[in-house]
Amino acid sequence: MVNQGERSRKASEAGIRYALTALTNKAQSREDLAKEVQLSRSTVMKFFSGKPVDYPNFVNICQALDLDWQEIAIGEEKVHNNSAENLAIEAIIQQARLDCQAQIQYQCGTLRMLDISRAIALTDIFTEVNVLEQLNSQQWRDMSELVKDFNPILNRFDRLGLSKVRQARVCGLDALSRYRKLMILGKPGAGKTTFLQHIAIQCSEGKFEPQRVPLFIKLKEFAEDAHDKGEFNLLKYLIQNLSISKIKPEIAHQLIETGKTVILLDGLDEVAEFDSERVVREIRRVTRYHQNYFAITCRIAASSHQFQEFTDVEVADFNSEQVKSFSQKWFVAVAGNDSSAGKALAAKFTNKLQSPENEAIRELSVTPILLNLTCLVFHANADFPSSRAKLYEQGLDILLRRWDKARGIYRDEVYLSLTLARKKQLLVQVAAIAFEKGIYFFEQSQIQQLIANYLQTLPDTLTSPDEVNLDSEVVLKSIEAQHGLLVERARRIYSFSHLTFQEYLTAQNIIDRLTLDTEKSFVRYITDRRWREVFLLVVDMIDTPDSLLQAMKQYIDWMAASDENLQQLLTWVSQKSCSVNSDCKHSATRVFYLSRARADILDLSRADSSDFAYIFDPDFQPSFDLLFDRELDRILGFTFNRMLDIRQALCRFIKIVLCYPIKQQPTFDYIFGLTFNPLYKEKIEEVCKLWRALQTLSHQLPNSKKNPEEFKQWWNINGANWTAQLRNVMIEHRNIGHDWQFNRQSQDFLEQYLNANLFLLNCLHRAHHVSPTVRKEIEETLLLPLAEIEQRASYGT
């Protein structure tokens, strides 16, 4: 037994793997562990790097991980083996690491991002990468499990749930430490190369596996160089790569042979097809030096090879914290010297991204390459564009063409007739057919059939139907691997990578075939929540949206016409709105009163009606009449729903409404005295009449404060009749307080109708090419009963 005073211990390679597994099971990082055991971060890093750690600290770390330190530690004779040979090897490694730092910095120290005019330092932009230890495409899941949080039929439409992760995320560096050999798979633009560059930098700076030397190789460059020279020898290429850093070939060979390197091979999917088999053979030859660390990156659908002892992991989408971290770093890095301006813009970006109206953009931001695009677009005007379609179009263009082109990658076309334009046509057709049927997840056979149906329509298709069916699988895998627009969510179950793209492509399909007949079919979906983004995209993208917007308005009015209760309510809303003085838009006044009635009908808390009115008119300012009715309506709410003392409610009414115009706190005598403000004399006379009627009613009430029990008994007997009298008073003097008696069906119609009109207004704001005449016509006839709309039309008003 070793006493605490004896010398240090270090963890074996197997012990480090056990410790990393225990750390993951505790859902901790190394920093978390350091805080728990109250040790410095460097001490914990030494432990996980296999360096000697003082015995007490070594034991404390093991105990915190619920591990037996004797099983984790290397035998004492190995810990303290200070032979000249080991010292010499360690010195060689440290010198080699120092020698290759400049080369690694040159290869991995900067990033070139799309449409950014200068390179960005990796350390300024890198955001921690998480991986999934079980590939989604290898998991057997029922379709019902995938759609349980994404089911509009059950009134659940969590668009972000389409790609929701259902397993724990693991820090990428921890995964490499644990498994030593990783195949890192991911969608295009998921951050695979950036992660590999980060590993190389961390290793060269001694922050990851400091006892090893990093080698970063782009497999495409190796294959092109080998093809030109006619010599495919990856081991020789690795040695030459180290030789660039002035490391002698024999030393480089010794480092690889003794397992003292971290070999990072980037972009297996980027190797030309005619070279891929030879490159794979060379990788297998090099991985025989199994003591080294290895990481290979490849697009997930392009991975058809397995390597001995390798663990496949998948780069996870960014979570909200990673999105926030990346965007903060992005704006500061792009701002250059003005970091304060970058931080301010980053904060504004984060706030805007979280707003409900930007949910579709937020969905795109989980992929780093598309998050870069959203940051770039926001950077131009400190806001997201009002035309979202242009943003989505750019995102598609990046995945279909620009991302590979910017890096000089030209992939083999597996189906020669499928040009870029036809690929987009295919995606448009698949997206629209599926979306109209409410399909978001496809069985592989289902999506292959849709692809086959399209291929058979091509004029230059010469293959038989059976051959086309076989080709459809190849095309599916090609679109997934090359563009990442279709992804395998579970074994043989696919979806679009982002619902936003499926919606955009569906909108494109609608525009391409829009006629009067298809227009009528389309507008039927206006009350369906899942079609909202498609409508907004169509009215944004279409050159002449007048006819479509008018059809949407007509459908909403027709829908409301089928419910007599709703028509009666709208008639009252129109009459009431015309009877009050207000400088705001008529539609805003109508929604003000409609929302008050809605609260009563649906037994909702009486939220401020102005909230709805501001949607219809951003400059809405409630007039004296509207304030008067709003406060009076609150009396009704207090009385009907809470049985408060009517006199107490009336006092509040007098104080708020009558004092509002003169901005004072006058006494009761002043309000009812002779010194009236002439502008409000008529209004105050109306109040006096109402006040006297309410006083007559209030005298009927027992004093609830002096004798609550007596009041309760009185209310049980007389409350219904007294409330009816109160309603009659309100109706007589202000035409408010009606008991609409909506049944459940009418309540549903009311909700659908109000939401549809709010949405129509949103579409009107998005429609940049709508004519002023149509815009005015729609705005002025919002929330009117059908009879009045038809009357206006007959008079041409």
Q: Please state the domain extents for the chain.
A: 13-81, 95-133+168-315, 320-406, 420-539, 558-780
| 3-class SS of residue 533 | helix
HSE at residue 41, side-chain half, CA atoms within 13 A, is 5
The pTM assigned to this predicted structure is 0.79
Q: Is residue 409 within 8 Å of 270, Cβ to Cβ? A: yes
Q: For residue 393, what pLDDT is reported?
A: 93
Q: Contact, 2 vs 55, CB < 8 A?
A: yes
- E strand segments, 187-317: 213-218, 261-266, 293-299, 311-315
- List residues bridging with 293 in a β-sheet: 262
Q: What is the pLDDT of residues 435-446, one digit of tens each?
A: 999 888 889 999
Place of tokens 């060269």: 204
Where on the phi/psi map is residue 741: left (φ > 0), alpha (ψ -120 to 50), or beta? left
Task: List, in sequence order, every beta strand (DSSP E) within 85-244.
Answer: 110-111, 120-121, 130-132, 170-171, 181-186, 213-218
The CATH class of 13-81 is mainly alpha
Q: Which segments in the chain show pLDDT lower than 50?
A: 1-5, 76-83, 153-156, 641-644, 657-677, 679
Q: Which residue has the tokens 């109250």?
A: 38
Q: Is CATH 3.40.190.10 the right assignment for the domain spanning 95-133+168-315?
A: no
User: pLDDT tens digits, residue range 574-632?
Assistant: 998 888 877 677 778 888 888 888 887 887 755 555 556 666 666 677 676 777 777 67
Q: What is the pLDDT of residue 111?
A: 92
pLDDT at site 164: 61
For 185-216, give the DSSP string. EE-TTSSHHHHHHHHHHHHHTTSSSTTSEEEE
Q: Which distant-in-sequence residues (6+ apart) come within 8 Å of 19 by Cβ?
A: 11, 47, 48, 61, 62, 65, 67, 72
Residues paired with 487 in a beta bridge: 495
776, two tokens: 């005015």
486: β partners: 496
pLDDT confidence of residue 665: 36
User: Which amino acid would we find at residue 636?
Assistant: L
The 10s digit of each residue's pLDDT in 459-468 is: 876 566 667 7
**How far apart are alpha carbons 797 and 792 in whole angstroms?**
5
3-class SS shares of the chain: helix, strand, coil, % to 5: 65, 5, 30
Tell me, what's the pLDDT at 182?
A: 96
Q: Residue 730: what pLDDT?
A: 84
- pLDDT value of position 648: 60
Beta partners for residue 132, in sequence order: 314
Of the candidates 624, 650, 626, the residue with the CA atom closest to the CA atom of residue 636: 650
Count CB atoms within 10 A of the CB of residue 466. 9
Please provide the DSSP assignment of 734-758 as one string: HS--------HHHHHHHHHHHHHHH
CA–CA gap between residue 679 and residue 101 (Å, rounded): 82
The pLDDT value recorded for residue 318 is 93
pLDDT of res. 673: 40
Q: What is the pLDDT of residue 161?
A: 53
